Amino acid sequence: MKFIETLLEGTLWNSRFVIFLAVLGSLFASFAIFYMATVDVVILVQHTFHYADASMTEEMRKALHDTTVSHIVEVIDGYLLAVVLLIFSLGLYELFISDIDQAHGSKASSKILVINSLDDLKSRLAKVILMIMIVTLFEEAINMHITQPIDLIYMGGAIALIALALYWTHASESRHGGDDGEAEDDEHKEKAEH
């Protein structure tokens, strides 16, 4: 019975490696979105060279300006989505498979890529998803045609809700960051004493 129990537990524990499929899938999807957003930037830059063309009328220049700003917002949205997938991929790897030694050992590594728990992963993803939503709302606001006074109220309400979400996110970071900052200060004091 002990042999069967050991075999079963080993099989269950090693089944976590199926997460590697999600890690690779998210990573490849992230690379694909980075590639597409970068191609969009190259095409966008090529189109902006026509902005100074003397043959363009004022209406044509205004239309090019508006579409360029809209495309820039789309590119930002694409890059943010790629970042979400990258963080998700690295977070899953660290949670289920192994720590990424280079990320933990490097002073240059970003703290956003070091995931210690499922809550860390969720909070980091939530912050980036919030930014995607803000950028998407900005994109819609650029293209919005205000025809009635109620449209301005809707836009103002959306901006107020975004401000509230950002405030709550910052307040949450301050609460958790304060504890981490105190722990880091204590650690630095201990090192200085030695």
Alpha-carbon dihedral of residues 85, 90, 94, 100, nearest 10 degrees?
Answer: 180
Average pLDDT of the chain is 79
Structure confidence at residue 113 (pLDDT): 65
Spell out the residues 6+ positions from residue 40 whose beta carbon is closer than 8 angstroms to its own. 71, 74, 75, 78
Could you give the residue ranges of the DSSP H alpha helices within the chain? Answer: 2-14, 19-48, 58-96, 101-105, 118-143, 149-193
Residue 177 has pLDDT above 70, yes or no: no
Spell out the residues 6+ positions from residue 92 whose beta carbon is closer than 8 angstroms to its own. 19, 22, 23, 26, 121
Mean pLDDT of 89-100: 83
In three-state secondary structure terms, 141 is: helix
Distance CA 123, CA 113 (A): 12
pLDDT greater at residue 193 or residue 14: 14
Residue 189 has pLDDT above 70, yes or no: no
pLDDT greater at residue 139 or residue 76: 76
Residue 82 pLDDT level (bands cut at 50, 70, 90)? very high
Mean pLDDT of 67-81: 87
At 104-162, the pLDDT tens digits run 666 656 666 667 777 777 777 788 888 888 888 887 787 777 888 888 888 888 888 88
In three-state secondary structure terms, 49 is: helix
Q: What are the distances in angstroms from CA 2 to CA 5, 13, 14, 44? A: 5, 16, 18, 65
Distance CA 117, CA 79 (A): 25
DSSP conformation class of 50: G
Residue 67 has pLDDT above 80, yes or no: yes
Distance CA 153, CA 165 (A): 18
| Cα dihedral 181, 182, 188, 191 sign | negative
Distance CA 163, CA 134 (A): 10
Mean pLDDT of 41-67: 84
Residue 36 has pLDDT above 90, yes or no: yes
Structure confidence at residue 178 (pLDDT): 47
